[in-house]
Structure 1
């Protein structure tokens, strides 16, 4: 081959110089991750636990945490394991009590004798009808299989019901009601507890009950308590004064379990983009969602909504949940809807649309996501400092199984000493390099794509050299 032509030599040298780094193994470096932080280890600790901060979770590009790495000062990846909530929490499975029947409360005319078998119930002074009411027990009721005895013909039923939970041994976290509810409205309940039917204590609860019309319409018959409630030796009373169409026949308690659970990570989303009668949020992260809190920005708002998600614009929207967004600051003591639990999922876009053709609130909506927390167990090997890196598309996992580190740990992984995380760099979640990587097929990294581009360029260069040599040979004849 005649290499006397200077341009041919230059092209071959350029090809070698560009192609040599591309042949290196596809091993990520810290600079390729969108978020980086330094692990600050407790003195004398080498096997530690670290939690990903919210800034890192908002840049993670794999729902399974494949794009998480821990590097030492030499740039080598140190052994680490991903700790899921199941590895960190200690809780018993959800347990429900038996069903407790509802005993309707009633009043009688002034001066009228009490109904046979009726028991007096003292009502609180701040109820709609302070004073005394009556309830009728029956032997059949005590088994929990039938309703209470009929209300006497001359009695006036109250918008309230009594439950005998004295035999319940466990504290309760929520009450699941068997009830008929008026449609398309919020039903606010008042819960009280008493040991003697005379002295009552108010029990704080979360949110109202509701049942809306329509396919996949939101409904809620679970009354959550703000804190576990001991009901042993006590009665419960539910009241819904001023709300017609409510009929409660029984309740089933959800037993409160003692547990140590990693708290959810909350992050407010930027304003959603209007899309017809809906708002759409594009999510630049793949961290699984546990809940979505959609809040109305304007008072006196009430609208049922459907929540959908998808991973790509070419995919149809997939229904995730339905709920009611409300904000009633000036009604009673004021109330707002709480966060709605979602089936644990990873989506790249969320849509909130009004149900039943209603418009979205004119004041707008604020969306806040609750993310699944993610912690690591890290074996700090090699020279410090140690860099935690998150956020690189199309990255394969380098984590070891949690059981591997657990086998060499003298303590449970959830009880390892905690390392602090000091943020070093946080690129924008929608940085251009991440969007470019999303255009690549699944499983193909930027480095691999660059390698193929260099190989294609090399083939073209060699083809050009061969063509030039062919012309030389042809011209010399």
Structure 2
């Protein structure tokens, strides 16, 4: 009886494990959502592959370890992560204060003469500029970037900002501290309960050639509190390199009854470096905030903010998070969205190394939840292999992603699946108990 029970329990456990296991396995090319044929460079055993956006938009792990390269016999090739082909340097710059007098531009004795219709005819300024008095004020900060040369993608600023007041940070460059040119700007709004976080000012690949940078700020009214810049990090890459892979997507329509909010599920786990929001032509310009979270029990977290423009606009730099859900929230000053906007996701460049130790042709497979990390150290593959060849995908689909509204994907679906598994397991255990009960009743009772 005891042996029967153990055998029955083992069979029940095996059935549950088989039901819960995903289709295929890590070592099966068919067990991945995406498969692309590879073209490798002849004569090179070590190959380098820059992952295109079509692959990055299908990964189900944040660090991309659900990628495999298989040969013609279905054998997984040795693989390792490689440094991005477009190396982005992160240069930390110490801010130096730019000071000025608090009343340097104040002039006394100003009079305005108007005609009978109220139009200004003559403006007279009598008097001299008032002598500046009091302690100097901070007008901006200066950054010595003369050791930097290349294309600047963004500057990440640790800033102290007033609460409840939009402040615009402007970044300019100059080689002689006299003539300045604009590189980029960003308007930032800090809520009362927002935790301190870095501010990202996109520079859109502006050329920087051993120059000074300065950051100044302005608001539509008098600042409610002083602005301070504690640190700045400049992201720069060599000239002639592309730092981001992009993929187009179609967002769902705004939620019913709320034209200012668009929620959707993110179908990949690759960190998002930037996002461009292009509303319909009738919406024009819409200031937006981009927020993210992993489940409904978590609050929405700010990832970035910027302006969506129907003429194309600019990318909104994000924090590099990989949330399961994203919310695009239009500013309350706007009318919101009349239709579904187009999106462009930007991913940081990502490459891998692999050995062609198997039989050609080779295939790259990607996109598997729960895949194990089997990546080796890059030096283990480079050892006595010579220069790496350039592998490429033979054909990549160029279609856009179709994003699902959050109400149709995510927590409700997962809840239904979990309840289904729980009910199935309960029914199976009930069946086992019933079989044990019948077996016990069928055995003769011992005589007293």
TM range (shorter): 0.5 to 0.7
Taking the aligned partners of 1:238 and 1:316, their CA distance within structure 2 comes to 35
Give per-residue Cα distances to partners, 1:126-161, cap 9 Å, x unaligned: xxxxxxx999999x9xxxxx7269xxxxxxxxxxx6
Taking the aligned partners of 1:59 and 1:175, their CA distance within structure 2 comes to 28
Is the 8 Å Cα contact of residues 290 and 341 (structure 1) preserved in structure 2?
A: yes
Give per-residue Cα distances to partners, 1:394-447, cap 9 Å, x unaligned: 433443333321334445xxxx331121138899989xxxx9xxx999xxxxxx
Q: What's the counterpart of residue 271 of structure 1? A: 251
Aligned residues: 362
Q: What's the counterpart of residue 364 of structure 2? A: 388
> Could you say which structure has the larger radius of gyration?
1
Cα 1:36–1:209 shift into 2, 3 Å: same
Taking the aligned partners of 2:130 and 2:310, their CA distance within structure 1 comes to 34
Taking the aligned partners of 1:60 and 1:164, their CA distance within structure 2 comes to 41
Cα 1:363–1:285 shift into 2, 3 Å: closer
| Consecutive unaligned residues in structure 2, runs of 5 or more | 1-17, 110-127, 403-408, 416-420, 443-448
- For the residue of structure 1 that corresponds to 2:94, the secondary structure is strand
For 1:210, which of 188, 211, 215 is the aligned residue? 188
Is the 8 Å Cα contact of residues 170 and 182 (structure 2) preserved in structure 1?
A: no
**CA displacement at 1:385 relative to structure 2:** 1.0
For 1:325, which of 307, 323, 329 is the aligned residue? 307
Q: What's the counterpart of residue 367 of structure 1? A: 343
Taking the aligned partners of 2:201 and 2:26, their CA distance within structure 1 comes to 52
**CA displacement at 1:49 relative to structure 2:** 0.2
Is the 8 Å Cα contact of residues 306 and 316 (structure 2) preserved in structure 1?
A: no
Q: What's the counterpart of residue 58 of structure 1? A: 57
- For the residue of structure 2 that corresponds to 1:31, the secondary structure is helix
Taking the aligned partners of 2:290 and 2:199, their CA distance within structure 1 comes to 18
- For the residue of structure 2 that corresponds to 1:279, the secondary structure is strand
- For the residue of structure 1 that corresponds to 2:390, the secondary structure is coil
| Consecutive unaligned residues in structure 1, runs of 5 or more | 1-18, 111-132, 141-145, 150-160, 330-334, 442-448, 471-477
Q: What's the counterpart of residue 292 of structure 1? A: 275
Taking the aligned partners of 1:375 and 1:236, their CA distance within structure 2 comes to 34
Root mean square deviation of aligned Cα: 5.3
Cα 1:32–1:322 shift into 2, 3 Å: closer
TM-score w.r.t. length of structure 2: 0.61
**CA displacement at 1:44 relative to structure 2:** 1.0
- For the residue of structure 1 that corresponds to 2:43, the secondary structure is coil
Cα 1:388–1:306 shift into 2, 3 Å: closer
Tell me, yes or no, if structure 1 residue 281 matches structure 2 residue 264. Answer: yes
Cα 1:263–1:163 shift into 2, 3 Å: closer
**CA displacement at 1:339 relative to structure 2:** 1.5
**CA displacement at 1:266 relative to structure 2:** 1.5
Is the 8 Å Cα contact of residues 166 and 190 (structure 2) preserved in structure 1?
A: yes
- For the residue of structure 2 that corresponds to 1:269, the secondary structure is strand
TM-score w.r.t. length of structure 1: 0.57
Give per-residue Cα distances to partners, 1:93-133, cap 9 Å, x unaligned: 532224222325527579xxxxxxxxxxxxxxxxxxxxxx9
Give per-residue Cα distances to partners, 1:204-247, cap 9 Å, x unaligned: 22233333545439998765553326446xx979696x944259
Taking the aligned partners of 2:302 and 2:164, their CA distance within structure 1 comes to 22
Is the 8 Å Cα contact of residues 147 and 249 (structure 1) preserved in structure 2?
A: no
Q: What's the counterpart of residue 391 of structure 2? A: 419
Is the 8 Å Cα contact of residues 273 and 281 (structure 1) preserved in structure 2?
A: no
Taking the aligned partners of 1:212 and 1:28, their CA distance within structure 2 comes to 48
Tell me, yes or no, if structure 1 residue 103 matches structure 2 residue 62. Answer: no
Indicate the larger mover: 39-48 or 167-176.
167-176
Give per-residue Cα distances to partners, 1:245-271, cap 9 Å, x unaligned: 259877678475764587222122222
Is the 8 Å Cα contact of residues 83 and 377 (structure 1) preserved in structure 2?
A: yes
Taking the aligned partners of 1:33 and 1:426, their CA distance within structure 2 comes to 19
**CA displacement at 1:340 relative to structure 2:** 2.5
Cα 1:324–1:215 shift into 2, 3 Å: farther
Indicate the larger mover: 175-184 or 347-356.
175-184
Is the 8 Å Cα contact of residues 278 and 342 (structure 2) preserved in structure 1?
A: yes
Is the 8 Å Cα contact of residues 54 and 267 (structure 1) preserved in structure 2?
A: yes
Taking the aligned partners of 1:440 and 1:212, their CA distance within structure 2 comes to 35
Is the 8 Å Cα contact of residues 137 and 148 (structure 1) preserved in structure 2?
A: no
